[in-house]
Amino acid sequence: MKNSLFPNLKRDKKVHRIKLQNWSPFMKLISWILIVTMLNTLTGCMNYFKVRHATGPVAENIDNFDNQHKTIIVHLENQAWILEQAEVKENALTGIARKDFNSNLTRPVNPKGPNRYRTKRGYNQSAVLNEVHIYTSELTRTDYFKISIPMASIQKIDVYEKDQATTVGSWTLGILGVSALAFLLLMIIVALTKSSCPFIYTFDGENYQLAGEIYSGSIQPQLERQDFLKLPVYALKNKTYQLKIANEVKEIQHTNLMELWVFDHDANKDIWVDKYGSYFTISDLIPATSAINLEGTDITGLVLKKDSLSYSTTLSAGEMPNTDGIILEFPKPEKASVAKLVIRAKNAFVLDYMMGQFQNQFGDLCKKWNKKQKKAPAEKLRQWSLDQNIPLSLSVERNGIWEPVDYFNVAGPMAFKEDILSIPLNDTETNPLRVKLESGTFFWEVDFAGIDYSTDTKIDYQIIQVNTATTQAGKDVRKQLLKDDGKYYVQPEVGDNAVITFNLPENQLKERSIFLHSKGWYQILHDPSGTPDREYLEAFRQPGRFNQFVNEYMQSVAKK
């Protein structure tokens, strides 16, 4: 049966799956280090608990522990027991101690600093957060199991609880702790295997700074799309804005249009442009009051601010769901008609890497498959991407049911991108407003999410065309970038770049926002070898099959 996504592949008695083991040892090594390093430092959040010394009356503390279903452990010298039915009677703590206590922690507890515990499936130490440790100098047994501890003999009561600050901070330390070698390997893997989109660098007066990537995910001509990238404003009085568009990966990039949208506005507002080219004014951006992942873990601290902390899937050796995401809660005004959700997010390197592994499965027929892809209807290609949960979907809870609203386009893995989508409200939403961001497991990293309910203000803006566009070889490509007319500035080789300048209008107000409006597509250059397994590839027509493919590989990494 023919399909526009998958060409007819001839069967062969020697058909086999193209596996990662067929890579060269060098490529396999750097790929392995990249995956392990990125996941363990960027997405492998470590968990910590701390010791709090309980104060106040023992009887009151015991009642609180009971209400919280805490596990009480009694220590006498080198022995420890789990104390059940604990209560205070006549200046003594009594209860039943029938079970010896054996901690599942691998290290001694530090009473004055953070202590790490593991949450890996099959080796989950999170029960430590439920422990209370009572240390005594004496106790008596009234029968074989019942014990009595004089209040005067209780030396201290230690409560183990989550060290939220250190747990969240471990993400920052993980990011900063990546060694120079790991960073170098990251740059190697980007240069050799990354398949993303053009890089945009902005000139700050002395150096070029990476601003982001444009039209990510537009890997076929029929997927060509508009992109709006918010750019830094270095000085309000600058008369010229200079940037560079660069091809730094193995692909051929086709850019149809580049222009600046320039907004001058009051200092108490911010401007955002969505994927449709609609602009919004933001005057009261509210961070989430609560954020949990789809497993129910509190991750609020990771998405409260635009900083170095972000949420992404944690590597696990156990079975993982096809999708992961975040459920956010925001206060909701009574008469609000629209909620504008602003996020700062990017794709994880895993998605980029695994798309390359997927193409490897086509082996010798990869070029033929890509050629056939160019004839496939754009809507069919987009639907496959949605079925595999590649974009970041947005849903809102209404009448207790999650209703899809829209999705954020692929952003690329090299830099966080700030983006916006509006959510129409109709009074059937919960209060607080509950919003869900969801994608394939390991596909996205989210740094911040906030909502604004303010009424949009009309603002005049100016569209600025390219003034000059000169390639690294000195060629003038300005005409190719002036209009959305099918004339492209093509960058076929790694290292191709062009410096683009724009003449800015004089700023009349206190603030300025600048967006790069671009349009284009790119062709990934991939040339794997081997004979493909048709039956195996047929399965990728199914929704979620690519997600399973990613999970299978990532679980194999976790088990090593």
Q: Which DSSP string do the residues of 247-280 spell out, in sequence order?
A: --SSEEEEEEEEEEEEEEE-TT-EEEE-TTS-EE
Residue 84 pairs in a beta bridge with 96
Is the Cβ–Cβ distance between 369 and 537 less than 8 Å?
no
Question: What distance, in Å, lies between the first and last C-alpha atoms of the chain?
Answer: 39
Residue with tokens 């990728």: 540
**397 and 321: one domain?**
yes
Is the Cβ–Cβ distance between 88 and 58 less than 8 Å?
yes
CA nearest neighbour of 216 among 36, 513, 357, 419: 419
Residue with tokens 């209008």: 505
Burial category of 433 from C-beta neighbours within 10 Å (exposed 0-12, middle 13-18, buried 19 and up): buried
Q: Classify residue 246: in a domain, yes or no.
A: no
**84 and 26: one domain?**
no
Domain of 350, in residue numbers: 20-41+172-193+284-453+530-559
> What phi and psi values does residue 542 have, to the nearest 5 degrees?
-75, 140
Residue with tokens 């060098």: 26
Give the C-alpha separation, 227 to 258, whole Å: 10
Q: Classify residue 240: in a domain, yes or no.
A: no
Q: Classify residue 86: in a domain, yes or no.
A: yes
**54 and 25: one domain?**
no
Q: How would DSSP label each residue in 58-110?
A: HHHHHHHHHHTTPEEEEEETTEEEEEEEEEEETTEEEEEEEEE-----SS---
Q: Which amino acid is at 242?
A: Q
Q: Classify residue 439: in a domain, yes or no.
A: yes
**544 and 421: one domain?**
yes
Give the C-alpha separation, 36 to 103, whole Å: 29
**67 and 26: one domain?**
no
**28 and 113: one domain?**
no
Give the model's pLDDT for residue 240. 95
Q: Classify residue 417: in a domain, yes or no.
A: yes
Domain boundary among 143, 162, 181: 162
Residue 398 pairs in a beta bridge with 401, 429
User: Hey, what are 263's tokens?
Assistant: 């907004």
Q: Classify residue 257: in a domain, yes or no.
A: no
**308 and 389: one domain?**
yes
Between the CA atoms of 280, 283, 284 and 288, what dihedral angle is there, to the nearest 10 degrees?
A: 40
Q: Which amino acid is at 114?
A: P
**35 and 100: one domain?**
no
Domains held by the chain: number: 2
- Read off the CATH number of the domain in which 321 is found: 2.60.120.260
**402 and 447: one domain?**
yes
Tell me 537's DSSP state.
H
Q: Classify residue 152: in a domain, yes or no.
A: yes
**36 and 103: one domain?**
no
Q: Classify residue 304: in a domain, yes or no.
A: yes
Give the C-alpha separation, 68 to 56, whole Å: 17
Is the Cβ–Cβ distance between 119 and 316 less than 8 Å?
no
Give the model's pLDDT for residue 459. 92
Q: What is the pLDDT along the chain (560 residues), one digit of tens a residue?
A: 334 444 444 333 333 344 444 444 444 444 554 555 555 444 444 678 889 888 888 888 888 888 788 999 999 999 999 999 999 988 899 999 988 999 988 888 988 878 888 776 567 788 898 899 999 999 998 887 899 999 999 999 999 988 765 554 444 334 344 444 444 445 545 554 555 689 999 999 989 999 999 999 999 999 999 999 999 999 878 899 999 999 988 889 999 999 999 999 998 899 999 999 999 999 999 999 999 999 898 999 889 988 878 898 876 666 789 999 999 999 999 889 999 999 999 998 888 888 888 888 888 888 888 888 888 999 999 999 999 999 999 999 999 999 999 999 999 988 899 999 999 999 999 899 999 999 999 899 999 999 999 999 999 999 999 999 999 999 999 999 999 998 999 999 989 999 999 999 998 778 999 999 999 999 988 778 888 888 888 898 999 999 999 888 887 766 65
Q: Produce one character per residue of 320-353: b if its CB has 16 or more CB atoms within 10 Å, e if not.
A: bebbbbbbbbbebeeebeebbbbbbbbbbbbbbb
Give the model's pLDDT for residue 54. 86
Cα–Cα distances in angstroms (integers) from residue 17 to residues 90, 249, 364, 530, in the given order: 74, 26, 12, 8
User: Hey, what are 75's tokens?
Assistant: 């220590």
User: Hey, what are 257's tokens?
Assistant: 């249009």
**367 and 318: one domain?**
yes
CA nearest neighbour of 158 among 78, 68, 97, 74: 74
**553 and 434: one domain?**
yes
Give the model's pLDDT for residue 147. 93
